Chains A and B, each alone.
Chain A
């Protein structure tokens, strides 16, 4: 008790200059499943109010990366920060600012749309009354207000995805992660979801990390991270990635970077 108060160590999270802290920072992250290395020294940032496309083939390590960012797996090496909060050291503060849409559907099919949203809200400690108001507002926004009481099972694939995105926004995150959210959807549903998410970036300043292997979902203004066999091959604004690869379009750039022959479903 006689010890003098310890001198506080300098805060590693540069919260003083809040605007400089990226929404998501991945810093030297590696991950292995036994002998198989799924991620090798991955580093990149997602800026606030930006749309960052994480481009990679199946098996590139996208889902592993998502599992690490969402604390599903423990970090083996490196650091993941969400608005400066280290996911390993203060997962509560980090996850509070994060919304996720996983690749497999994770809705309760036998519960209603509203019930699904209320459950998610409860997991974030949002009171029932507040949750009801937010759920109604979000369902209205995604055009499913009339279906609020129906079972999720009766929705189409595109509607389920829209509901999952609405659910991910319920606790008002500032960073949104989507893992191949348009897989298995028709053209119209895909376009709806892409425009819904892009509006979040421009209107609400949410940072978005969008994992995909479909080139036509990326726009020239986006940031791009090319992930291949667990390594980041290129990152930066899309135009720069293309020119640095000495290519004319993102499709060619990707193939030059990865040596891939064809892209399934790419930019056609």
Chain B
């Protein structure tokens, strides 16, 4: 370490510094994920249970007519695959937010927040890192699903990527928004009950919405208003090389709103400060 007493302080941060920071946060999140084998396994087992058991059982009950983006009759497994991909991201987003609550209590969040870069940027990096982790999970799922005869067109694996990034950001920032309202870890079970399950079931993940409409028009409107439905549809269309513009617009708008809300809620004067000291003594 050289003498530093006379170093003149530079002003602001260069683009390269921002990118170094982003790369570092994503890299560290990836490393941590790889070290948590159980998390990876459980992230994969959950959708696979739905695919192997639930879908196999329901295949006979639910007939799927030809609806866009599909061009032929499809098996029920093929129909719910995009919904399960979105479910992986939903759980990942909530889990990342859980780890942020945990980090806040354990002090790891402090390491991030004492970085001199703007706080909003740091939280955005954290969201991107969480999304990157969800991509690993989704592609691992797609690989296994391929052996189960869920074989979208090969270019679909590429065209679905931007959709997954956007939906991952939306669900991640929703999780972050919720986590800033959670005071303690124990409340996470409540998040499961009041966020994950309703979002998943009141969506087009498990059944096409025209079927829902036949059953209950009100539920249909609820599903239409559910951003998760649009995440699912965005992924479904992108997997077949198409764009669902309405879903794209809804997901993009929700991402922006949730992200601004999450970053705003994490502001020290409005967020942490109200909660009192994080752990330690006064």
For A170, the closest partner residue in chain B by CB is B1
Instruction: Let me know if A108 is at the binding interface, CB within 8 A.
Output: yes
Instruction: Let me know if A123 is at the binding interface, CB within 8 A.
Output: yes
Measured in the bound complex, the distance between the Cα atoms of B115 and A38 in whole Å is: 25
A99 to chain B, nearest CB (A): 9
Residue-wise, chain B 86-129 has the 8 Å CB interface mask toward A (1 for contact) of: 00000000000000000000111011111111110010000000
Instruction: Let me know if A118 is at the binding interface, CB within 8 A.
Output: yes
Q: Which residues of chain A have C-beta atoms less than 8 A from B32's C-beta?
A: 108, 110-111
Measured in the bound complex, the distance between the Cα atoms of B270 and A159 in whole Å is: 36
A49 to chain B, nearest CB (A): 8
Measured in the bound complex, the distance between the Cα atoms of B1 and A138 in whole Å is: 8
What number of A residues sit within 8 Å (CB to CB) of B?
59
Q: Which residues of chain B have C-beta atoms less than 8 A from A251's C-beta?
A: none
Stretch at the interface among B16-24, B60-68, B186-194: B16-24
Measured in the bound complex, the distance between the Cα atoms of B27 and A188 in whole Å is: 36
Name the prevailing secondary structure of the B interface residues: loop
Instruction: Let me know if A59 is at the binding interface, CB within 8 A.
Output: yes
Question: Contacts A95-B116, A104-B106; is A63 near B28 (CB within 8 Å)?
Answer: no
Instruction: Let me know if B42 is at the binding interface, CB within 8 A.
Output: no
Query: Are B28 and A119 in contact, with the CB atoms below 8 A?
Result: yes
Interface residues of A in 157-182 (CB under 8 A from B): 169, 172, 174, 179
Measured in the bound complex, the distance between the Cα atoms of B277 and A62 in whole Å is: 11
Question: Contacts A58-B281, A59-B282, A73-B269; is A104 near B107 (CB within 8 Å)?
Answer: yes
Residue-wise, chain A 28-68 has the 8 Å CB interface mask toward B (1 for contact) of: 00000110001000000000110000000011111110010
Instruction: Let me know if B41 is at the binding interface, CB within 8 A.
Output: no
Instruction: Let me know if A143 is at the binding interface, CB within 8 A.
Output: no
B contacts, CB < 8 Å to A: 1, 3-5, 7, 9, 11-14, 16-18, 20-21, 23-25, 27-28, 31-32, 35-36, 106-108, 110-119, 122, 267-270, 272-273, 276-282
User: Could you give 21 example pairs across A and B, Cβ below 8 Å?
Assistant: A72-B114, A73-B268, A73-B273, A74-B270, A92-B13, A93-B11, A95-B115, A100-B114, A104-B107, A105-B107, A106-B106, A106-B107, A111-B28, A111-B31, A122-B20, A122-B24, A123-B117, A125-B18, A169-B1, A172-B7, A179-B280
Q: A122-B28, A123-B117 are in contact. List 16 more A-B contacts (CB 8 A).
A: A58-B282, A60-B281, A73-B273, A74-B268, A74-B270, A95-B115, A96-B116, A102-B110, A108-B32, A108-B108, A110-B36, A119-B25, A119-B111, A123-B21, A125-B14, A204-B3
A contacts, CB < 8 Å to B: 33-34, 38, 48-49, 58-64, 67, 70-74, 76, 83, 85, 91-98, 100, 102-106, 108, 110-111, 115, 118-128, 137-138, 169, 172, 174, 179, 204-205, 230
